[in-house]
C-alpha cells in the first residue's frame, strides 16, 4: 500500500453488467498483462549438449495446465461442452429415435394434449418417452429445453461477439491514439455506464417489437451486444495503454506499418488473454439478461423458445405443473454456474501473478 | 470536495437529458403510434387524437414541449393508459413499494453477505471458504425468476407458511418472499466482494502493524480489516441500490406488487409515452445520485481518496 493520495475515479467502481450486478473479479487491466511473450510461444528449445528436445513452456500451455488443476473450472468446462453438444444434436436425435420435433403437438389424440409429469406416459405409468414431462400442449419438455438451449447459447455467444467487436475496436483505438480522443471516448463510456441499460433495452425492444420471431432475435442481439461492450472497451484500452510504448510497436511504426494495422494486427492479438477471460464471463451475463427479457415477454417470441421464455411459461403453471419451470430453470442455472466457474478458472489460469511454479 | 460534487452534478444533468432524449427518440422512431391497434381508426378520430396530444405539430415542437414541461415544471404529463392519472402521481404511489422491497432486500443481503464473506476470507482455503463460495456462485447463477416461483412452490403452495403474492403493506408476511428472492443475488455478490476485499486488506502492512502492536484478533478484524475490506461493497452499494429500487421488475411481476417496475412494463407494452419517459428519467436520476453518494462515502471512509 502506498501513502500517496489515490485519485478516486468513477472507473474504480466495479464494472456493472446490464442487471446491475458487479463483476467483482473483472481482470484488472494493469495486473493481467498477457504481454508480447505470447509471440515466442511454442518455441522448442534445443539443449546444447544432449540433443534431446525440451518443450518450451508457452503461456497458453501453462495456462491450460493450471486450468486443468482447477477442479471447479474443469467441471464447468465439461458441463458447458456436454450441454452445448446436447443442445445442438439433441432435438435432431430425439426426432430420429422417438419421431417428434420440439414443437410437435399430438393433435391427433386429444388425450395427449396435456402436461404429463416427468417419466410418465399418458396412462400415468412409468415411461422413458418424456424424461422431463410435457407442457400444456403435450409437447416434449426435454426436446423443448434442448432447443431452448440452442437459442439461449446462440444469443449468449452472438451478443458476446458483437460486444467483442465493438469493445475491442473502441478500446484499442482510444488507447492507441490517446490524448483528447481517448479522453472524449472514455468520458462517453463513463456516461453510458451510468445509464439504466436494461430499462432502455426494454424500451427499445418493446417499441421496435418485430413482427417475426427472427426479427425479434436480431433485435435482441443488437440490443444486448450494444450494452455489454463497455467493460470490454475499458479492459482493451488498459491493455493497449500498457503495450503501446513497447519495442515491438516502435519497430512496427519505424518500418512504416499503418496505424490501423498496428492496432489490429500487433496490439489487439496481445490483449487476447484478458479478453478471453472477460468474454467467458460475459456469455452467462448476456444469457441471464436475455432470459430476464424473455421472461418479461420482450425477448424471444413463440414459436421460438429460450430457457427464459420456457421458464416464463412454466412460472405460470408452478402450482400444478412444477416441472415446467424446474427443468428449464435448473438447466439454465447449471449452465450459468458452469460458465461462471470456467471464467473464474480461466482468469486464475491466465493471471501471471498467480503463477506459483 | 464541494468542487467535486458540483462538477459531478454538472455532468449528471446533461446525462439525464440524454436519457430522456434517447427514450423519447426510441418511442417516436418506432413504427406505429400508441393509438394504432389492429384496426385502423377512422381518419376523423385519428385527426382528433393527433390534435389532442399535439402530434400534428412538427417533431421539434413536440420535443421542446416535453422537455420544457419536464425541466421547468418537473411535470411528466398524464398517462395515456391510466386515464387521467398524472405520471408524477403514479410514480409517487408506486415508488414506496419498489423502494421498500429493494432497501429491505439490500439490508438483508448486507446482513448475511458481509459475515459470510468475512469468515470465508479469514479462513481462506478452508472447507467453509470453498463451500460458501460455491453456494454464492450458485446464488449468482440461479435467475431470480426461477428462484421466486420455486420459493412460492415450497413455502406457499406446499407448506402454506407464507402468502404467494399480492401487496399488503410493509408489515405483513406478504413481503417476505419478494424480499428474500430479490436479495439472493445481491447476498451472493456481497459475500464474494467482501471476501475479495478482506483478502487484499488482510495481507496489507497496516494489518500487520495492528497485529504487531498486540491488538486482539477480534479488534484487528472488526476495527481495521473490515473498514478497508468493505470498500468494494461500498462502491457496489450505489448502483446496487438504484438497480434494486427499480430492477425489482421481475419480482414485482412474479409477486404481483404494484411497484414502479410493474407500471414500467405495462407502460412499455402500451406505448404509454409520458409514463415510460417519467419512469426512465426517475430511474436515471436515482442511479446517478446514488453513484454520487457512494463516491462521497468512499472519500469519507478511505482517507487516501482525494478528489
Alpha-carbon B67 to chain mean position: 25
CA distance B56 to B39: 21
* Total-model pTM: 0.78
Is the Cα dihedral B56, B58, B64, B67 positive or negative?
positive
State the CB neighbour count (10 A cutoff) for residue A99. Answer: 8
The count of residues in chain A is 357
Do B29 and B59 touch, CB atoms closer than 8 A?
Answer: no
Q: Which residue has the cell 468446462?
A: A77
Q: What is the model's pLDDT at position A2?
A: 42
Closest CA of chain A from B84, distance in Å: 23
Q: Which of A235, A242, A267 is nearest to A166 (CA)?
A: A235
CA distance B202 to B211: 11
Alpha-carbon A189 to chain mean position: 21
Closest CA of chain B from A281, distance in Å: 12
pLDDT digits (tens, 9 = 90+) for A230-254: 888 888 888 888 887 888 888 888 8
Report residue B275 as a C-alpha cell.
Answer: 409514463
Q: What is the model's pLDDT at position B47?
A: 79
Which of B153, B247, B294 shows the shortest C-beta gap to A20? B247
Q: Which of A35-44, A103-112, A264-273, B251-260 comes out lowest in average pLDDT?
A: A35-44
Q: Which of A227, A239, A230 is nearest to A292 (CA)?
A: A227
Q: Give the B window 197-256 contacts with A, CB below 8 Å.
A: 204-206, 232, 235-236, 238-240, 242-244, 246-247, 249-250, 253-254
pLDDT digits (tens, 9 = 90+) for B55-80: 777 777 778 777 777 777 777 777 77
Closest CA of chain A from B142, distance in Å: 5
Task: From chain A, pick out residues whose CB is under 8 angstroms from the CB of B145.
Answer: 291-292, 295, 308, 311-312, 315
CA distance A101 to A96: 9
CA distance B114 to B229: 10
Average of per-residue pLDDT values in chain B:
80
Task: From chain A, pick out residues whose CB is under 8 angstroms from the CB of B193.
Answer: 14, 22, 24
More confident residue, A189 or B49: A189
Alpha-carbon B10 to chain mean position: 23
A31/B contact by beta carbon, under 8 A: no
Q: Give the A window 41-80 contacts with B, CB below 8 Å.
A: 72
- Give the strand pairing for A15-16 and A22-23: antiparallel
Q: What is the 3-state secondary structure (H, E, C) of chain B?
A: CHHHHHHHHHHHHHHHHHHHHHHHHHHHHCCCCCCCCCCCCCHHHHHHHHHHCCCCCCHHHHHHHHHHHHHHHCCCCECCCCCCCEHHHHHHHHHHHHHHHHHHHHHHHHHHHHHHHHHHHHCCCCHHHHHHHHHHHHHHHCCHHHHHHHHHHHHHHHCCCCCCCCCCCCCCHHHHHHHHHHHHHHHHHHHHHHHHHHHHHHCCHHHHHHHHCCCCHHHHHHHHHHHHHCHHHHHHHHHHHHHHHHCCHHHHHHCCCCCHHHHHHHHHHCCCHHHHHHHHHHHHHHHHHHHHHHHHHHHHHCCCEEC
Do B84 and B159 touch, CB atoms closer than 8 A?
Answer: no
Q: Which residue has the cell 410493509?
A: B170
The residue-averaged pLDDT of A214-242 equals 83
Cα distance between the two ends of chain B: 6
CA distance B293 to B40: 50
- CB-CB under 8 Å, A333 with B141: yes
Q: What is the model's pLDDT at position B306?
A: 61
Report residue A100 as a C-alpha cell.
Answer: 417428434
Which of B236, B283, B305 shows the shortest C-beta gap to A6? B305
Query: For residue B166, is pLDDT > 50?
Result: yes
More confident residue, B76 or A145: A145
Q: Which of A114-128, A196-210, B76-90 comes out lowest in average pLDDT?
A: A114-128
pLDDT digits (tens, 9 = 90+) for A160-191: 888 888 888 888 888 888 888 888 888 888 77
Do B246 and A199 touch, CB atoms closer than 8 A?
Answer: yes
Q: Which among A34-48, A314-328, B38-52, B105-119 has the top mean pLDDT?
A: B105-119
The residue-averaged pLDDT of B201-215 equals 81
| Farthest-apart Cα atoms in chain B, separation | 86
Closest CA of chain B from A289, distance in Å: 9
Angle at B232 between CA B229 and CA B237, to 5 degrees: 125
Do B141 and A302 touch, CB atoms closer than 8 A?
Answer: no
- CB-CB under 8 Å, A12 with B235: yes
Which of A7, A13, A333 shows the shortest C-beta gap to B146? A333
pLDDT bucket at A40, cuts 50 / 70 / 90: very low
Q: What is the model's pLDDT at position B38?
A: 64
Do A273 and A350 touch, CB atoms closer than 8 A?
Answer: yes
**Please, which residues bridge with residue A7 across strands?**
B306
Do B249 and B261 touch, CB atoms closer than 8 A?
Answer: yes
Alpha-carbon B89 to chain mean position: 20
pLDDT digits (tens, 9 = 90+) for A256-299: 888 888 888 888 777 777 788 788 888 888 888 888 888 888 87
Closest CA of chain B from A261, distance in Å: 35
Angle at A171 between CA A170 and CA A176, to 5 degrees: 105
Task: From chain A, pick out residues whose CB is under 8 angstroms from the CB of B141.
Answer: 284, 333-334, 336-337, 340
Cβ neighbours of residue B252 closer than 8 Å, sequence gap 6 or more: B97, B98, B101, B178, B258, B259, B260, B261, B262
A198/B contact by beta carbon, under 8 A: yes
Residue of A nearest to B282 (CA): A196
Average of per-residue pLDDT values in chain A:
75
pLDDT bucket at B276, cuts 50 / 70 / 90: confident
CA distance B83 to B115: 49
Integer angstrom CA distances of residue B159 from A238, A295, B110, B162: 53, 26, 28, 8
Closest CA of chain B from A106, distance in Å: 28
pLDDT digits (tens, 9 = 90+) for A4-19: 444 444 444 444 444 4
Q: Which burial class, exposed, middle or buried, applies to B41 when counting CB atoms under 10 A from its CB (0-12, 13-18, 19+)?
A: middle
Q: Give the B window 93-132 contacts with A, CB below 8 Å.
A: none
The residue-averaged pLDDT of B154-167 equals 77
State the CB neighbour count (10 A cutoff) for residue B280. Answer: 29
The continuous run of DSSP H or E covering A78 comes out as helix A71-98
Is the Cα dihedral A50, A51, A54, A56 positive or negative?
positive
Torsion of the alpha carbons at A102, A103, A108 and A109, rounded to the nearest 10: 70
Q: Give the B window 137-156 contacts with A, CB below 8 Å.
A: 137-138, 140-143, 145-146, 148-150, 152-153
Do B267 and B275 touch, CB atoms closer than 8 A?
Answer: yes
Which of B142, B145, B150 shows the shortest C-beta gap to A295? B145
Alpha-carbon B293 to chain mean position: 15
CA distance B142 to A336: 8
Closest CA of chain B from A91, distance in Å: 24
pLDDT digits (tens, 9 = 90+) for B124-149: 788 888 888 888 888 888 888 888 88
pLDDT digits (tens, 9 = 90+) for B225-248: 887 778 788 777 766 766 676 557
Q: What is the model's pLDDT at position B111?
A: 92
Is the Cα dihedral A218, A221, A224, A228 positive or negative?
negative
- CB-CB under 8 Å, B26 with A21: no
- CB-CB under 8 Å, A21 with B185: yes
State the CB neighbour count (10 A cutoff) for residue A108. Answer: 7
State the CB neighbour count (10 A cutoff) for residue A84. Answer: 15
pLDDT digits (tens, 9 = 90+) for A300-332: 877 788 888 888 888 777 777 777 788 888 888
More confident residue, B1 or A180: A180
Q: What is the 3-state secondary structure (H, E, C) of B210-228?
A: HHHCCCCHHHHHHHHHHHH
**Please, which residues bridge with residue A134 across strands?**
A140
More confident residue, A95 or A43: A95
CA distance B33 to A207: 9
Amino acid at each position: 500500500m502506498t501513502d500517496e493520495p489515490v485519485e478516486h475515479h468513477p472507473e474504480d467502481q466495479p464494472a456493472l453488467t446490464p442487471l446491475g450486478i458487479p463483476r467483482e473479479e473483472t481482470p484488472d487491466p494493469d495486473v493481467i498483462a498477457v504481454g508480447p511473450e505470447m509471440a515466442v510461444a511454442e518455441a522448442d528449445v534445443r539443449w546444447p549438449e544432449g540433443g534431446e528436445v525440451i518443450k518450451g513452456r508457452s503461456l497458453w500451455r501453462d495456462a491450460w495446465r493450471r486450468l486443468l488443476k482447477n477442479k471447479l473450472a474443469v467441471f464447468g468446462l465439461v458441463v458447458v461442452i456436454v450441454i452445448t453438444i446436447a443442445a445442438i444434436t439433441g432435438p435432431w436425435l430425439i426426432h430420429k429415435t422417438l419421431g417428434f420435433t420440439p414443437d410437435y403437438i399430438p393433435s391427433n389424440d386429444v388425450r395427449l394434449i396435456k402436461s404429463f409429469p416427468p417419466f410418465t406416459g399418458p396412462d400415468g405409468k412409468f415411461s422413458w418417452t418424456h424424461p422431463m414431462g410435457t407442457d400444456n400442449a403435450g409437447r416434449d419438455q426435454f426436446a423443448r429445453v434442448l432447443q431452448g438451449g440452442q437459442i439461449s447459447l446462440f444469443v449468449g455467444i452472438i451478443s458476446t461477439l458483437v460486444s467483442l467487436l465493438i469493445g475491442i475496436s473502441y478500446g484499442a483505438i482510444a488507447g492507441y491514439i490517446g490524448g483528447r480522443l481517448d479522453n472524449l471516448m472514455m468520458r462517453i463510456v463513463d456516461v453510458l455506464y451510468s445509464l439504466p441499460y436494461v430499462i432502455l433495452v426494454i424500451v427499445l425492444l418493446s417499441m421496435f417489437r418485430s413482427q417475426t420471431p427472427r426479427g425479434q432475435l436480431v433485435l435482441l442481439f443488437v440490443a444486448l451486444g450494444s450494452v455489454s461492450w463497455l467493460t470490454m472497451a475499458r479492459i482493451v484500452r488498459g491493455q493497449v495503454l500498457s503495450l503501446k510504448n513497447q519495442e515491438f510497436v516502435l519497430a512496427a511504426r519505424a518500418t512504416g506499418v499503418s496505424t490501423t494495422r498496428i492496432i489490429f494486427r500487433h496490439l489487439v492479438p496481445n490483449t487476447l488473454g484478458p479478453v478471453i477471460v472477460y468474454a467467458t464471463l460475459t456469455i452467462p451475463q448476456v444469457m441471464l439478461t436475455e432470459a430476464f427479457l424473455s421472461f418479461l415477454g420482450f425477448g424471444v417470441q413463440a414459436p421460438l423458445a429460450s430457457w427464459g421464455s420456457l421458464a416464463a411459461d412454466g412460472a405460470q403453471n408452478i402450482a400444478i405443473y412444477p416441472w415446467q419451470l424446474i427443468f428449464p430453470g435448473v438447466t439454465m442455472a447449471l449452465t450459468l454456474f458452469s460458465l461462471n466457474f470456467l471464467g473464474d478458472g480461466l482468469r486464475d489460469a491466465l493471471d501471471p501473478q498467480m503463477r506459483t511454479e | 470536495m464541494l468542487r467535486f460534487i458540483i462538477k459531478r452534478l454538472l455532468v449528471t444533468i446533461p446525462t439525464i437529458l440524454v436519457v430522456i432524449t434517447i427514450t423519447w427518440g426510441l418511442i417516436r422512431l418506432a413504427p406505429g403510434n400508441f393509438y394504432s391497434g389492429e384496426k385502423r381508426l377512422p381518419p376523423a378520430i385519428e385527426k382528433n387524437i393527433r390534435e389532442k396530444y399535439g402530434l400534428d405539430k412538427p417533431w421539434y415542437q413536440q420535443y421542446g414541449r416535453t422537455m420544457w414541461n419536464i425541466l421547468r415544471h418537473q411535470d411528466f404529463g398524464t398517462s395515456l393508459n391510466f386515464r387521467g392519472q398524472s405520471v408524477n402521481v403514479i410514480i409517487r404511489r408506486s415508488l414506496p413499494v419498489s423502494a421498500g422491497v429493494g432497501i429491505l432486500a439490500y439490508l438483508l443481503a448486507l446482513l448475511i453477505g458481509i459475515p459470510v464473506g468475512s469468515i470465508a476470507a479469514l479462513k481462506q482455503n478452508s472447507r467453509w471458504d470453498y463451500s460458501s463460495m460455491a453456494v454464492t456462485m450458485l446464488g449468482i447463477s440461479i435467475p431470480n425468476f426461477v428462484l421466486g416461483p420455486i420459493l412460492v412452490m415450497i413455502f406457499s403452495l406446499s407448506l402454506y407458511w407464507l402468502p404467494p403474492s399480492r401487496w399488503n403493506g410493509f408489515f405483513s408476511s406478504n413481503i417476505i418472499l419478494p424480499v428474500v428472492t430479490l436479495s439472493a443475488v445481491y447476498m451472493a455478490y456481497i459475500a464474494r466482494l467482501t471476501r475479495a476485499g478482506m483478502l487484499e486488506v488482510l495481507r496489507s502492512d497496516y494489518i500487520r502493524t495492528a497485529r504487531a502492536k498486540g491488538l486482539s484478533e477480534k479488534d484487528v478484524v472488526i476495527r481495521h480489516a473490515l473498514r478497508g475490506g468493505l470498500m468494494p461493497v461500498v462502491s457496489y452499494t450505489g448502483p446496487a441500490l438504484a438497480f434494486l429500487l427499480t430492477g425489482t421488475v421481475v419480482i414485482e411481476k412474479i409477486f404481483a406488487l404494484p411497484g414502479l417496475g410493474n407500471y414500467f412494463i405495462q407502460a412499455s407494452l402500451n406505448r404509454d409515452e409520458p409514463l415510460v419517459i417519467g419512469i426512465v428519467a426517475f430511474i436515471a436520476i436515482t442511479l446517478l445520485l446514488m453513484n454520487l453518494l457512494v463516491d462521497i462515502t468512499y472519500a469519507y471512509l478511505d482517507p487516501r481518496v482525494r478528489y
